Amino acid sequence: MELFDLTGKVAVVTGGTRGIGLMMARGLLQAGARVYISSRKAEAGDAAVAELAAHGRAVSLPADLSQEEECVRLAAEVADREDEVHILVNNAGATWGEPLQSFPESAWDKVLDLNLKAPFFLTRAFLPLLEEAATDDDPARIVNVGSIDGLHVPPMHTYSYSTSKAALHHLTRVLAKELGSRRITVNAVAPGPFESKMMAATLETFGKEIAARSPLGRIGRPDDMAGVVVFLTSRAGSYVTGSVIAVDGGIATTR
């Protein structure tokens, strides 16, 4: 078996229509997987499928994953099409920036529902399909997309976002312990600054300063994110679980 080959594998990537999710979906396709992507907007899914077509077959299944019933419905729709799922990437997320004095309750509800509760409910909904795919030599894989803002204190007023990502990192470790006996690995990726819609305004204003914080002197590129998800979901990463991998050019770990 090729170390990084995903031929014949089935992957689901939430928030897979743009940014980090789209980078990961492309990497999985290039490694040979069939990929289902999900986002709230059907038109965004259709555009992403068209963009990804050069790399492999992607299918869009829209869902509002801030609601548990939608997490369950997404798993059921995939189950109608596939007997097993080898890879679940929990990437769909939201952020909110506002000063302490005016930071609203709705900003906690929106961000925690999507960033923390949705990965939990999706994991539970997809467990039967993941267990069907899992073997002793080649476990099924769950990859949660956290953030370096969950590893260090961010410079922005994103209270619910950074807290949700730190909690997701710990949920990753909790689930890794519980699901290991079911032949499923659970890891998290903690991206630093990458070009995405969520980061666009920040990078436009502070891009040079942010790049200068990294020992490598740049922000992330699509291949950087594609590479780490292929590692974690291929034979190469089969003995890695409960880990939080910073993909940030060293920003969070060297300052």
Active-site annotation, residues? 161
Tokens of 48: 């992403």
Q: Could you tell me the strand order of the sheet in which 244-247 lies? A: 58-60, 34-38, 10-14, 87-90, 140-145, 184-191, 244-247
CA quadruple 151, 255, 22, 176: dihedral positive or negative?
Answer: negative
How would DSSP label each residue in 143-205? EEE--GGGTS--SS--HHHHHHHHHHHHHHHHHHHHHGGGTEEEEEEEE-SBSSTTTHHHHHH
Minimal CA–CA distance to 251: which of 158, 126, 154? 154
**What is the DSSP pairing of strand 184-191 with strand 140-145?**
parallel
Burial of 227 (0-12, 13-18, 19+ CB in 10 A): middle
Minimal CA–CA distance to 172: which of 228, 240, 236, 224? 240
CA quadruple 13, 15, 16, 19: dihedral positive or negative?
Answer: negative
Task: Report the C-alpha gap between 16 and 18 in whole angstroms.
Answer: 6
